[in-house]
Structure 1
Amino acid sequence: MEAEAVVEATDLEKTYGETVALSGASLSVAGGEVFALIGPNGAGKTTLVRALTGTTDPDSGSARVLGDAPTAIDRDRLGVLPQDFSPPDRLSARELLSYYAGLYDDPRDPDAVLADVGLADTGDTWYENLSGGQQRRVCVGSTLVNDPDVLFLDEPTTGIDPAGRRTVWRLIEDLAADGTTVVLTTHDMAEAERLADRVGLLADGSLVARGTPDALVREHGGSSRLTIETAADLDAFDDLEVPVSRPERSRVRGRNSESAVVVREIAPAEIGTIVDYLEDRGIEYTSLSWAEPDLENVYLALADRTELEHTDRAGDEPADEAAADPTRAGETA
């Protein structure tokens, strides 16, 4: 039996002038589920979150949260962290959380919330004197003072250092374990892979793929790969009975892509066979690294495909029409 949806969007459409922000976006999130929205800048993630939280009215389609329209929901049951959130600088972290707690009938203790976000020792520090990552954690805390049933987090860990990020991750995991439904947007594929029960990839205003991280990797992530750091030409691998190519430019991270080859569809137990192949043919190499596909591979495959399709469409437009809308990408997230 399918779990009852707590967050629903059906065929949401939203345009800003000639810019299409949402184009038939639909999703369904069950109670206690963590759903991560990923996608390129301008894909529509922030507009979708705004439509689901009642801060943007869609042009068409419908949205429901906890069975009600977003504008009708009891705000005590909802927590929302916008991507851009700037509370008053001249209040301490504790004073900020106390202020937001005062907006609700039965709030949590601000000191308990500070402890949850790993800031128990900085409660008396003015917001403006906190680091950027600490400020973001205070912002996360502000969404928790009402102990919400549904939590929307737009890029929650932006600017947070690795240790602080893991604190927020554990907090989100604990909230979901206690039954809180979480919808978050992120550009961090490790964050989505760790936290999300399901992931939806948004491109050009609609969800082009959704599923568990494992299912998306199986369907779109490609094969395992063995990267060999070598100056040898691809011709040296002509008689190897598995696919061999240069690494994707997105993965070479500043080094010359001609200094490595990637052997695909290789299981760990077969790496020794490749080593024997290299040695038998006198192919010099400096290192080997094996990796399974992950959510980043899924993102790159689907985002690249969408970008290519978008580029092809733009190439078919008259030059003056394409130039007439320099903000075609729409929003920043």
Structure 2
Amino acid sequence: MEAEAVVEAQGLEKSYGETVALSGASLAVEGGEVFALIGPNGAGKTTLVRALTGTTEPDSGQARIMGDSPTSVDRSRLGVLPQDFSPPDRLSAHELLAYYAGLYDDARDPDDVLADVGLADTGETRYEDLSGGQQRRVCVGATLVNDPDVLFLDEPTTGIDPAGRRTVWRLIEELAASGTTVVLTTHDMAEAERLADRVGLLAAGSVIARGTPDTLVREHGGASRLTIETTADLEAFADLEYPVSQPERGRGRNPDNAVVVRDIDPAAIATVVDYLEARTIVYTGLTWSEPDLEDVYLELADETELEGTDRASDGAEGTNLAQAGETA
């Protein structure tokens, strides 16, 4: 573990019965850094955040915040937003923040916090009468009343409209710029790419890749691609000088009737258009794109899921063979 890290996890393991939530998860987050955890549902993101904040006791491994164990650290220096957070809904937004501010000796003005999350004009509205996105922003505000040094946000912008989401993003950026260390989980790859200094991909309870968004895209994102919307089959592109394939399954950005030309620069798109026209190949659209963090997510998460499926299949086959042996 790095000595300068503000948030550390080393070999965290946690199981609930036969369900393995964490399997040797490790990470290190430096001061003032925004670290985003991404991964599929059930990968262990929420359990990892709970282990880091002391609300879940790991079965083994070590977690530390600012040099202390999560259960010993000064709680006034932390802000924690769980994925499921249900404050008293008959209090107004201002009353809720004033309540949480009252838990600390040196808290921020609730009105200032409401302004930070873009709700300056809704302070007197009951929590239950706010929209889902506004409620979530109030919850974000509740984690900021103590002006924390370290902030944990589990899916902070879930349910928030695009304008409100950008308000929260700007707030997180400002907090990080002022020295706050932020650990967040998200399924929004655009959110991770914009906010995170580094990203950790959690799959099957372990952090299987970490690095800056650019580094992860460069190492795991694959090549640039030109998607051609056409009913023509791959044989029609046999003479094209670039590799051509069908769209990868499960990637919703690709249309059903299409072929994908890979590893192609924008300047070469005219060459492909000339090829299409020379062979009278009918097409309805062209889309060029570079790999991004979503491609990294899909590539690595799919690999881990397939490995898990293979292991499960091997185990099932072994069980069946053993049972057959017993029967014989």
Q: Which secondary structure state, in structure 2, belongs to the residue aligned with residue 270 of structure 1?
A: helix
Amino acid of the structure 2 residue aligned with 1:311: T
Q: Flag structure 2 segments of 5+ consecutive residues without an equivalent.
A: 321-328
Q: Flag structure 1 segments of 5+ consecutive residues without an equivalent.
A: 323-333
1:199 aligns with 2:213: no
Which residue does 2:25 correspond to in 1? 25
Which residue does 1:97 correspond to in 2? 97
Alignment deviations for residues 172-222 of structure 1 (CA, whole Å, 9 cap, x no partner): 000000000000000000000000000000011110000000000000000
Which residue does 2:145 correspond to in 1? 145
1:261 aligns with 2:259: yes
Q: CA deviation at 1:251?
A: 3.1
Which residue does 1:34 correspond to in 2? 34
**Conserved? CA contact 1:25–1:207, under 8 Å:** yes
Amino acid of the structure 2 residue aligned with 1:283: I
Amino acid of the structure 2 residue aligned with 1:49: V
Distance in 1 (CA, whole Å) between partners of 2:133 and 2:193 is 21
Distance in 2 (CA, whole Å) between partners of 1:89 and 1:227 is 48
Amino acid of the structure 2 residue aligned with 1:265: D
Identify which of 272, 279, 294 aligns with 1:296. Answer: 294
Amino acid of the structure 1 residue aligned with 2:133: G
Q: CA deviation at 1:158?
A: 0.4
Amino acid of the structure 2 residue aligned with 1:61: G
**Conserved? CA contact 1:34–1:181, under 8 Å:** yes
Distance in 1 (CA, whole Å) between partners of 2:189 and 2:211 is 14
Distance in 2 (CA, whole Å) between partners of 1:3 and 1:86 is 36
Amino acid of the structure 1 residue aligned with 2:118: G
Which residue does 1:287 correspond to in 2? 285
After the TM superposition, list the runs of 4 or more consecutive aligned residues in structure 1 that deviate by more than 4 angstroms.
Answer: 252-255, 319-322
Which residue does 1:155 correspond to in 2? 155
**Conserved? CA contact 2:198–2:210, under 8 Å:** yes
How many residue pairs get aligned? The number is 319
Alignment deviations for residues 27-70 of structure 1 (CA, whole Å, 9 cap, x no partner): 00000000000001111101100010000111111111011111
**Conserved? CA contact 1:186–1:192, under 8 Å:** yes
Distance in 2 (CA, whole Å) between partners of 1:92 and 1:321 is 58
Using the aligned pairs only, state the percent identity. 81
Distance in 2 (CA, whole Å) between partners of 1:208 and 1:98 is 41
Higher relative contact order (CA 8 A, sep 6+): 1
TM-score by length of 2: 0.94
Q: Which secondary structure state, in structure 2, belongs to the residue aligned with residue 46 of structure 1?
A: helix
Q: Which secondary structure state, in structure 1, belongs to the residue aligned with residue 251 of structure 2?
A: helix
Distance in 2 (CA, whole Å) between partners of 1:49 and 1:73 is 15
Distance in 2 (CA, whole Å) between partners of 1:252 and 1:9 is 34
Which residue does 2:81 correspond to in 1? 81
Q: Which secondary structure state, in structure 2, belongs to the residue aligned with residue 289 of structure 1?
A: strand
Amino acid of the structure 1 residue aligned with 2:248: E
Q: CA deviation at 1:261?
A: 0.7
**Conserved? CA contact 1:3–1:30, under 8 Å:** no
Distance in 2 (CA, whole Å) between partners of 1:76 and 1:252 is 43
Q: Which secondary structure state, in structure 2, belongs to the residue aligned with residue 317 of structure 1?
A: helix
Distance in 1 (CA, whole Å) between partners of 2:309 and 2:114 is 46
Q: Which secondary structure state, in structure 2, belongs to the residue aligned with residue 228 of structure 1?
A: strand
TM-score by length of 1: 0.93
Distance in 2 (CA, whole Å) between partners of 1:3 and 1:290 is 44
Which residue does 1:233 correspond to in 2? 233
CA gap 1:136/1:319 in 2 versus in 1, 3 angstroms: farther
